[in-house]
Structure 1
Amino acid sequence: MRTPRHFWKTTAVVAAGLSGALALQSMNGRQQAGDGPSADKPGPVTSRAETSALRVSGDGTSASLGKRDTEPFSMLGVTWSDPSAHVGGRVEVRTRQAGTQVWSRWMKLDGDSGQGESGARRGGTEPAWVGPSDGVEVRVDGKGAGRLPKGLRLDMVDPGSGEITALEPAAYSRDGGATPEPPVAEPEQGTDPGDEPQPDGTASEPPVSEPPVSEPEVPDPSSPEPSSGPQEPIPSPSGPSAPSSPGPSVSVPPAPPSTTPVPPITSRAGWGADESISPEEPGYLPDGRVEAVVVHHTAESNDYTCAQGPAVVRGIYAYHVKQLGWKDVGYNFLVDKCGIVYEGRKGGVDRPVMGAHAYGFNAQTTGISVLGTYTAAAPSTAALTSVARIAAWKLGQYGVDPAGTVTLTAGDSGRSYYGKTWAKGARLSLPAIHGHRDGYNTQCPGDAFYDKLPTLRAWAGGPVSGLTLKSVTGAGTAGTTTYTKSAVTVNWSATTPAPLIARYELLVNGKVAATTAGTATSAKATLAAGTHKVAVRAVHQSGATATTTATTVVAETTAPAFPTKPNLALRTGTVDTAAVPLTLKWKATDGAALKEVRLTAPTAKTYGPTVTSANHTAKSATATKWSLSAYDQAGNTATASVTGTPVILQESSAAKTGTWSTKSSSSYLGGKSYTSSTKNASLTWTFTGRSVAWTVSRAATSGQADIYVDGKKVTTVDLKSATTKYRDAIWTKTWDTSAKHTVKIVVVGTSGRPAVTTDGLVYLK
């Protein structure tokens, strides 16, 4: 905003002794030899600038700077004489990576850095970070957009070098405890900010082809002169830097407490600000309060590293102050892609400092800019998180809802990126967190970033979004009910980043049973016996809450029961000495919810809660123990077992009547079998057991036999089979208890197929 200069007369830096505490991050900005303080303590880092005038075409609609060698630089922008002018058309640059012959692709510069502030000497594009470079080429195509402004030149900034230490991504730092006083940088004398940088003489084209650089503009005589030199920075508990002492007539607005905690902020001293280039006192919002946050991007490359973040900030600072003639860096805060927050314009991060970032609305807003360009790709989660934290903190100082709307008064007529226009003094309704394009005709903060603003508002204002109870572990679940003996671990997730969450609360029957940090994703609780409703409540740093849908948890310690104990019975099927077919039966129940029954011996199997039998085989003449364990959903268990021994009685052990002959084959049990076609021929076995099976051979010509149990006929069995079968247990009978029994088979003498071939009898004891 082109703020009247009298605002600057009534402002001052934060004086020592003002209340308030901030969590500040710092780093050591170490100098190159001869650049300032000793290398073993933080201090300002001196930047250097080089300029080269552009050659403008005869019709004034295009301009260029031929490919050339330069002194090392890392940031550049194209500037012009009239701060209120604009460049129509396309401004593109490409650079050569320092120490190589590798040239970058052509990069488009955002054609307007905003109208700056009163006293600005030049207009310009947004600065672009290109990394260490030693060659450059520029082309400006304004055809169809009118004549280009006068005094076009390329400004190249070397932000100086600094060694970074103990720099942590701010978006993921946890607040807590006292914060050490940030290091205070001793500012040093530097170039007067009114000195216009001169063009470099390294151009590879003939000097006559380069138009002269425009003369520095004559300052407004009504404007106050900048201070004669930088003063000693005054540390303040309410701000990370206070570059000069307030004058006797200066009124410093208070630093009200916020409804949300202050995130870590890297102070100006921390990123190596050379305070000598901006000695003018800071300005403050005329009403002393921040009404809204304007979000920006710096429209430069995203190809910087976390370690280069401070250099990028220094480059922007030098470009705004030295090249454009602003009193200080335009933004109140800057955030790099790693989530590190940097103090921008001086005056105290907890004060309503007047920035130069949103023309027409500077007097009511604070500006946060993310380093990089975000037209196609959105900022990182770390960067968005830090923007949300800074926005919530600043708006929380003045009771403004980050997710709400505010009414701002336009300081000048204007037009938005979307074509909306307004007159000076108009009252505009805007989101409390909005993009630069909402109040100025610029693409800033880029389409991809702008699309993230609803998410940013939700993160900053709360409540916690995307809160979901994912599972309750340490127990079983049946349907929508979870079961446990007593202990549960509740797991959840949320889409709001953890640094914006004050805490989570585990609710049992509506009461807080456990409290965790905002970084947690689970909590444990011990429940009394009974049915409970369990939920998770997230408390946003603003105090707003969100609660998951409650889930039912039943705590119980009663073990399952076996109302029908495990028992064994022989079944039909092919008999082998190593595998006698049998059925294991049981019934398990539970007072709450039976989960499963597991067979643990002689083999391992798991059965569902409604299964009550299973077919198995057992080795003959061997006692086998069958062990079962019943599990309920809470984890309670009960065990039961049964032991059984299958015994094979050969046909030769039976008492015979009638005519029987012996047949030999490896297919028979024991290699032999009895066969008879004589009507009423019989075989009788006596045994003590609880289950019995008759084993025979079968074929298409096999006949029938009557079966008597304990002297009573129980059935007639037809042995006919379309396929030949051996050792086939065709008939079985089981009793509740073990006892002595007799089984007799009698040949019926079926017409045309009278033969009965028996392989013996199997019983279970």
Structure 2
Amino acid sequence: MRFTGIRWNRRTAGIGAAIVATAVAGTASLAATAGFGEDGAVWGEGDGPVSTALHTVAFPAANGREVTIPKRDTERFAMVGVTWANPNVDFKGTVAVRTHAVDGDWSDWRPLELDNHFGPEPGAEATAGKARGGTDPLWVGQSDGVEVRATAAGGATSDQLPAGLRLELVDPGLTKRRKAGAAGVGHVRPARLQPVAEVRALEPTPTDPAPTDTAPTDPAPTDPPTTTAPAETTAPAPTETTAPPAATTAPAPTTTSAPAPTTTAPTVAPTATAPANPIPTPKVVTRAEWKADESIVTDPPTYGTTVKAFFVHHTAGTNDYSCADSAALVRGIEIYHVKSNGWNDIGYNFLVDKCGVVFEGRKGGIDKPVTGAHTYGFNTDNAAIAVLGTYISAGIPTGVQDVVAHVAAYKLGAYGNDPFGKVTLTSGVEGKYHLGEQVVFNRISGHRDAVATECPGDALYAQLATIRAKAATTANLRLTGLTGTLSGTTYYTRSTFTASWTTITPSNLISRFDVVVDGTVVATAAGTARSASVTVPAGTHTVVVRAAHKIGRVNATAAQAFVVDTAAPTFPQGPTLALRAGQVSGTVVPVTVNWRATDNTGVGSVQLTAPISRTFAASGSYGTTTKPSVATAWSMRAQDWAGNTATTSASWTPIFLPETKATRTGTWSTSTGSSYLGGSALTSTAAKSSLTWTVTARSIAFLATRTSTSGQAEIWVDGVKQTTVDLRNSTTDYRRVMWTKSWSSSARHTVKIVVVGTSGRPRVITDGLVYIG
């Protein structure tokens, strides 16, 4: 066999017997530079030219149900797949590979995905070469060695490997090299397979025994779409077509794929102008930017007239790639689809990597209804995107969902099609559905909905509902709050307040938000906004937030009741001090702060802001201490549920009234010591002895010293006995508040202490009174 590109002979060292390989040049012929040198070149986008290549190795003749290509050195490659001669063979076996990383080790065995999803419909496009069936390509990174095994499925004698098995090694090319003067510049490692004048077809000789284990495969999906067409449909009436007779030659299946419908897509760009697209153009890496090999795309693109549905795929293989390599990965898929599968161009209209970068796929214009080779039987008048990687057990990140939703909305929106709706399509082949069968699809569907395949993986398939909502509706639109306070199910707020909301839909798919109060739009915000300020009169109202998607669908949050309150709280009783039980000193007096606040809709909180900071309920009391003989300001701030506030403040001074200021009756003596207030106290053991003070106050406290021999004392106020206190304590306790009395306002009062003369312990020791005027 002769090739128009490079011709290779076997490598004579390190492999043993001869190795056969063919190479097909890409944008630049692959000569001794090989495409991957040791001069610092890397895959990805860059400024330099790109050389791409496809190296192929024919499998040896099958011996039974398994065939291998033994471990061998190869020309450098980064993507691997296996193809076979008949594109209609539904190969149910397994194909596994392991590869040798450049300057690294051999990988584990990895399966090649056998989705058998085919590509363009028969006759739908002129292929760049003979069409072939094949596995999905697998990205393996820079590699220079390979081992492959293919095994037929099951144990039936009729099971067999497809004819014409061929290993495909894709070199996606390099775009960057070391700067001039760097080590290695000017020297390129010789190609591992040296060019010669002709190719010699030699059978490969194994150097390792064939493996006996089989690479695993994933189960097929079990969730097909509805296949019954509704009475009314947006799809055009199908063209009546008779299915072809069954095939009679092996290795094709017992029935061949039906021909495409007789109505074919135009081969030039449509001249009719599509409706104005409400969706902004997504950010896309163009074919020129990812350096597509346009030399291998020999036929012009074909076009439909609309985009009715948008199919989501994954490319399978691995997620273990760097996003810096995504452009090279896309180039590799292009090479594989064109040179290995024999299609006109890359099959997908768009591709997106795991970092959310979108790449233009099949040429012809991202704004045109380009007919792809992505969804067998449903390629015309539909579009598709493929997520680079495999998404069986784990789905795509939120950011990737956003861009898939954006691209889907963009393609469907150009023709006024609702991404959240459904559409009836007519099968163009005899495949999962019969030729001419009408099938109801979601406007955004998975590949598996149209073709018997696992694609786009269980996890990604489960995310399609979210992607549809993002593409057509403002998904998960929720009112998250109003300025003010939520009490029960009702918000309380002031006349000017802020409404806030959230949504998972990308902002560039939202036209605007409307804040609607009592059925009237009171504020409008941009699609990027998540809050708006509004002014509403006092009273009870309801509010909703509406979102207008750029595709036209309007969504609204649940209605939220709220009350606009413009009245501030009031303080019927501001901070008022009263004396309380405890121990006093020259610097500390125990007191209680009392208050009461009210509001027409309810007090949310009261804060004590001075001399300390505390938060309380609308009314109550709080025990604390203050300094004697010093005027202290006590300030409070009340806030209602709506956020209205009121403040109040009062100044209070506790004052000591010593025992020496009292009028005495009976027998009293003076006791001295540093533990007494002022260094002294009055002591009496005589019954009926008394001390009397007259003072203007609103709160009064009696101070005494308690001992193990202390007795009782009566307390009289304004001539009325209040109580009898017992001063006995197991240990000596100085300056103790033994009794208090408070009034609502300040007034003049007479306080009298009378010694009871308790038997065996008649002593009463007093430090006088403390009062707040």
Match of 1:292 among 309, 334, 342: 309
The runs of 5 or more residues in structure 1 that have no matched partner are 1-28, 165-197, 211-244, 416-421
Alpha carbons of structure 1 residues 651 and 331: separation in structure 2 relative to 1, 3 Å: same
AA in 1 matched with 2:88: S
1:428 aligns with 2:439: yes
User: 2:117, 2:452 within 8 Å by CA — same for their partners in 1?
Assistant: no
User: 1:45, 1:273 within 8 Å by CA — same for their partners in 2?
Assistant: no
Match of 2:455 among 444, 447, 472: 444
- The whole-number CA distance in structure 1 between the counterparts of 2:438 and 2:113 is 28
1:125 aligns with 2:129: no
SS at match of 2:399: helix
Aligned match of 1:136: 146
1:538 aligns with 2:547: yes
Q: CA deviation at 1:552?
A: 4.2
- Describe how 1:80-479 pairs up with structure 2 within 5 A: 80-98=84-102, 100-117=103-120, 118=122, 119=127, 120-142=130-152, 144=154, 146-162=159-175, 205=205, 255-258=274-277, 260-285=279-304, 288-415=305-432, 422-462=433-473, 464-473=474-483, 475-479=484-488
- The whole-number CA distance in structure 1 between the counterparts of 2:29 and 2:544 is 55
- The whole-number CA distance in structure 1 between the counterparts of 2:576 and 2:405 is 67
Aligned match of 2:589: 580
- The whole-number CA distance in structure 1 between the counterparts of 2:661 and 2:275 is 105
SS at match of 2:770: strand
User: 1:49, 1:158 within 8 Å by CA — same for their partners in 2?
Assistant: yes
1:570 aligns with 2:570: no
User: 1:30, 1:42 within 8 Å by CA — same for their partners in 2?
Assistant: no
Aligned match of 2:724: 717
- The whole-number CA distance in structure 1 between the counterparts of 2:201 and 2:617 is 87
AA in 1 matched with 2:472: G
User: 2:607, 2:636 within 8 Å by CA — same for their partners in 1?
Assistant: yes
Match of 2:569 among 560, 564, 582: 560
- The whole-number CA distance in structure 2 between the counterparts of 1:367 and 1:568 is 77
- The whole-number CA distance in structure 2 between the counterparts of 1:107 and 1:401 is 40
Q: CA deviation at 1:632?
A: 3.2
User: 1:44, 1:275 within 8 Å by CA — same for their partners in 2?
Assistant: no
Aligned match of 1:489: 498
Alpha carbons of structure 1 residues 709 and 203: separation in structure 2 relative to 1, 3 Å: farther
Aligned match of 2:184: none
Aligned match of 1:763: 771
Aligned match of 1:17: none
- The whole-number CA distance in structure 2 between the counterparts of 1:738 and 1:254 is 90
Aligned match of 2:715: 707
SS at match of 2:548: strand
User: 2:711, 2:728 within 8 Å by CA — same for their partners in 1?
Assistant: no
SS at match of 1:321: helix
Match of 1:617 among 604, 619, 625: 625
1:593 aligns with 2:602: yes
- Describe how 1:650-689 pairs up with structure 2 within 5 A: 650-689=658-697
Q: CA deviation at 1:626?
A: 2.2
Alpha carbons of structure 1 residues 690 and 116: separation in structure 2 relative to 1, 3 Å: closer
Alpha carbons of structure 1 residues 372 and 269: separation in structure 2 relative to 1, 3 Å: same
AA in 2 matched with 1:147: Q
SS at match of 1:55: coil
Q: CA deviation at 1:141?
A: 2.2
Q: Deviations over 1:592-648 (max 9, x none)?
A: 43232222332222222232x322222222232223333334444333332232222
1:511 aligns with 2:520: yes
Alpha carbons of structure 1 residues 353 and 568: separation in structure 2 relative to 1, 3 Å: closer
User: 2:62, 2:161 within 8 Å by CA — same for their partners in 1?
Assistant: no
Alpha carbons of structure 1 residues 450 and 46: separation in structure 2 relative to 1, 3 Å: same
Alpha carbons of structure 1 residues 41 and 381: separation in structure 2 relative to 1, 3 Å: closer
User: 2:371, 2:383 within 8 Å by CA — same for their partners in 1?
Assistant: yes
Once the two structures are overlaid, the 10-residue window that deviates more, 325-334 or 524-533, is 524-533
User: 2:391, 2:458 within 8 Å by CA — same for their partners in 1?
Assistant: yes
Q: CA deviation at 1:701?
A: 5.3
SS at match of 2:651: strand
SS at match of 2:591: strand
AA in 1 matched with 2:459: A
Match of 1:76 among 77, 80, 83: 80
Match of 1:55 among 53, 57, 60: 60
User: 1:559, 1:638 within 8 Å by CA — same for their partners in 2?
Assistant: yes
User: 1:299, 1:374 within 8 Å by CA — same for their partners in 2?
Assistant: yes
Q: CA deviation at 1:78?
A: 0.5
Aligned match of 2:258: none
Alpha carbons of structure 1 residues 621 and 125: separation in structure 2 relative to 1, 3 Å: same
The runs of 5 or more residues in structure 2 that have no matched partner are 1-26, 36-44, 178-197, 211-265
Q: Deviations over 1:484-517 (max 9, x none)?
A: 4554333322233334333333334443344333
SS at match of 2:299: coil
User: 1:73, 1:134 within 8 Å by CA — same for their partners in 2?
Assistant: yes
SS at match of 1:114: coil
- The whole-number CA distance in structure 2 between the counterparts of 1:517 and 1:588 is 42
Aligned match of 1:21: none
Alpha carbons of structure 1 residues 610 and 315: separation in structure 2 relative to 1, 3 Å: same
Alpha carbons of structure 1 residues 499 and 32: separation in structure 2 relative to 1, 3 Å: farther
Q: CA deviation at 1:116?
A: 3.1
- The whole-number CA distance in structure 2 between the counterparts of 1:71 and 1:552 is 71
Q: Matched residue pairs, number? A: 649
Q: CA deviation at 1:750?
A: 4.0
SS at match of 1:362: coil
Q: CA deviation at 1:468?
A: 1.7
Q: CA RMSD in A?
A: 3.5
AA in 2 matched with 1:653: K
